[in-house]
Chain A
Amino acid sequence: MSVIFNIGLYHYLILALILFCIGLWGVIACKDLIKVFLCVNLMMFSAALNYSAYAVYVDPEKINGVVVAIFIIVFGIINLVVSAALLISVFKYKKNLDVEKITDIKG
């Protein structure tokens, strides 16, 4: 029981891994482009969680890991803005946001 309730580094890492896998699964499997982009953000934030966990548990004196996590969050927001613009233009062009129907790069 002590393994479950004594929260440590590994808990954070496993949580981040689970979040990352959920995000990956969402990117690969979702039909809706909005969901896909949300899942991309989920993957990025799981990475940010990873960084901050390492920053707190492995090297508490320095703040390098936390800085990277903040950067990731900032880039995630930028990413959301840009992708929202992209999604709007794709929707104007294609009249839907179904990934299966947007296959213009087919070889």
Chain B
Amino acid sequence: MLEVSGFLINSSFAMLLLPLWVAVMIILNAAVPFVSSRKLTLNLSLGVSLIGIIFSVCALYFCLFSQNAAAENNLLWLNTGDLRVSLGTLVDGLSAVIMLFFSVIFFLVQVYSYGYVKEEKNFHRFFIFLNLLNFSLTGLILSSNLVQTVIFWELSGVFVYFLINYWYTKKSASDAAKKTYLINKIGDAALLLGVIGLIYFSVIFSSAENMILLSYSNLQFTAETLYSMVSGKTFLIIAMLPVFGAMTKCAQFPFHSWVVDATEAPAPVNAILQGVIPVATGGLLLMRLYPLFVLSTEVLAWLKIVGCISALVFAYVAMSQNNIKKIFAYSTASQLGLFFVALGIGAYTGAGYFLISHGVLKVLLVLTAGVVVCSMDNENDIKYWGGLRQSMPGVALIFLLGSGALSGLLFSGFCANTLLLANFYLQDNFIWTVVILFVFFMSAYYLFRVYFLVFEGEKSKIELKKVSNYMKCPLCFLVVISIAMAFCYKKVFASLVYFVSLEQVSLSDGGKVVMLFILLCAVYITFRLYMSPYSKFMLIKERVLNKENLLYKLSYNCFYIEEVNKFLLDKFLMKFCRFVDFIDKYIVNGVVVILGLTTRVFSYLVSKLQNGNVQSYLAYSVFILAAIMVVIVGIYLLGSLVGV
């Protein structure tokens, strides 16, 4: 065990810097003409991901067989008096699991990306930014303290911006990138404020000399000290701010619109945004800071409220969308809402498992959708699709398995959903159980609606393009991962990721039957609505799924949230901005202009003196000399008058 621990400690920094090195190599590869090869770029990127997988398997092995010990390695980075900031790596159960998830998914996404951007002119740029994102997310996952997390959090935001902006000539993509960056900045600022608060109080109250600032392994102690030292309101504010950071990254209720707009990005980027980013940034942060949140019931309630609103609203919105990418974006927001709720009721392990399972399945679905969109010549509207099962049966099967798993019928999705239900059931909270079942119902509805509209029914007239195998192979692996995850919950996951003590929750068989029944009901209703014209269902379809119906309109336009936002922005924020602009233009700038003008006028007047006429110079000097003499004589006379 010691060897493995030593290996982890020694190699973790190398693991962190390897993607950065590969990015530099790819830049060199792209810069050298004639020699630059696309295969080399791909192999370098895949190699670094493979090393990541090996590293995280070792980490997992280590954590499993050493009773969840942590391998930590810290370097003192900033040392100014009381403030001592370290950079380092921490390999414990949570980071090992998320690192494994991240490196495997990233490997597959890179294979897929090769097929996706093979023909593009800016091929190398895509892989450079993928590797830089890999670097920042590895740093984020392995970070040993909160300060380092903030640094890598900001870095990942920048690279996400560049990845969304890959097709920067496309107006919508560039707008979406800007929007993503700006909305995420709100959360970043909140997180930064929270961390500054935590640093402030932990520096004030720290008793131990050699403790690492805001280290995750000591976070429970830090949080409890803080809780006993500061007032309730201060603690609430400090604990609440990081939640806002996580809310933006996880696309929760007021901050969801970036994930919807970012669907303009290439499909692999989209998969990373919806599957990997929420797990590795927001989700990881919430799980790391859980000791802090547990102490405040208000924070937990806030998690529950935000999660509940997101889960219900976005599941409802996803039911009526026609753009396949938007459906998955709303679905992401909704499912991550369930993760928030689960954390809010204290189901730490269940929430973590649900998060990772959702990550895998969402990547699978988005990538599958990407394959379909590619073969349909970038047509996103599922209304124009149909009957694709005959031409691409493999993809149809994978999509069916994926939507079945994500809605909770199969594989890891079933496992995750039963876990969530069991936790809610355990809490004896009837309303929450109903809410979550309702969300499951809606998820099954919109996922199977996509399946039926895209792969079944009448064949569409659009001619299909051939899709490279690089894009199809990762999909099969993702399905296998999802199946494998279903088997390793109890043995691996639950013994690695837990808060304070092991959670042993399982749903009774009756509960499972009820859940499956509800999900199958949803599938049946979808099937009836979209596949077979059956008189009663057709009547419902005409009544409810009608452009004029208020419920339908609300869902289709996402409760007019965007419009309300826009209205508020125009009414209040823009006015304020204009006011600030006015101040800047005429008052701040005016002062500067006046200062400059004064100098110029004065120098103009003074320059008149320098007219080159010797006599005038002499006259000035004589005048000044005379003045000086008058003053001196005056002082002398005054002195003699007074009698000094």
Contacts and interface: CB of A to CB of B under 8 A. Distances in A.
Contacts of A99: 613-615
A29 B619 CA distance: 9
Interface string B533-572: 0000000000000000000000000000000000000000
Interface residues of B, number: 10
A100 to B, nearest CB: 6
A82 interface: no
Contacts of B611: 103, 106
A66 B613 CA distance: 36
B613 A100 contact: yes
B612 A107 contact: yes
Nearest to B619: A28
A27 B618 contact: yes
B622 interface: yes
A28 B619 CA distance: 6
A106 B615 contact: no
B169 interface: no
A61 interface: no
Interface string B591-634: 00000000000000001001111110011001000000000000
Contacts of A24: 622
Contacts of A104: 612
Contacts of B610: 106-107
A106 B607 CA distance: 9
B622 A28 contact: yes
A2 B565 CA distance: 105
Contacts of B622: 24, 28
Interface string A76-107: 00000000000000000000000110111111
B609 to A, nearest CB: 8
Interface residues of A, number: 13
Contact of B615 (A27, A105, A107): A27
Contacts of A102: 614
A36 B619 CA distance: 13
A28 B625 CA distance: 15
B607 to A, nearest CB: 6
B36 to A, nearest CB: 60
A106 to B, nearest CB: 3
A24 B618 CA distance: 9
A21 to B, nearest CB: 11
A107 B607 contact: yes
Interface string B292-310: 0000000000000000000
A28 B612 contact: no
A31 to B, nearest CB: 9
Nearest to A33: B614
Contact of A103 (B607, B613, B618, B619): B613
B621 to A, nearest CB: 10
A8 to B, nearest CB: 23
Contacts of A103: 611-613
B619 A105 contact: no
A102 B617 CA distance: 13
Nearest to B614: A99
A28 B615 contact: yes
Contacts of A106: 610-612
A13 B607 CA distance: 39
Contacts of A107: 607, 610, 612
A36 B611 CA distance: 19
A28 B613 contact: no
Contacts of A28: 615, 618-619, 622
Contacts of B619: 28
B184 to A, nearest CB: 58
A99 B615 CA distance: 8
A105 B611 CA distance: 8
B625 to A, nearest CB: 11
A105 B618 CA distance: 14
A106 B612 CA distance: 4
Residue of A27, A28, A106 with highest tally of chain B CB at under 10 A: A28
Nearest to B608: A107
Contacts of B618: 27-28
Nearest to A30: B615
B626 to A, nearest CB: 10
Nearest to A106: B612
A47 to B, nearest CB: 15
Nearest to B606: A107
Nearest to A101: B613
Given A24-B622, A107-B607, A29 B612 contact: no
A87 B371 CA distance: 96
A24 B614 CA distance: 13
B575 to A, nearest CB: 51
A103 B610 CA distance: 10
Nearest to A36: B615
A40 to B, nearest CB: 10
Residue of B612, B619, B622 with highest tally of chain A CB at under 10 A: B612
Nearest to B610: A107
Nearest to B609: A107
Contacts of B615: 27-29, 36, 99
Nearest to B622: A24
Contacts of B612: 103-107
Nearest to A29: B615
Interface in B186-212: none
26 contacts: A24-B622, A27-B615, A27-B618, A28-B615, A28-B618, A28-B619, A28-B622, A29-B615, A36-B615, A99-B613, A99-B614, A99-B615, A100-B613, A102-B614, A103-B611, A103-B612, A103-B613, A104-B612, A105-B612, A105-B614, A106-B610, A106-B611, A106-B612, A107-B607, A107-B610, A107-B612
Interface of B: 607, 610-615, 618-619, 622
Given A103-B611, A106-B612, A107-B612, 10 more contacts: A27-B618, A28-B619, A28-B622, A36-B615, A99-B613, A99-B614, A100-B613, A102-B614, A105-B612, A106-B610
**Nearest 10 Cβ contacts at the A-B interface:** A106-B612, A103-B612, A107-B610, A28-B619, A105-B612, A28-B615, A103-B613, A99-B615, A28-B618, A106-B611
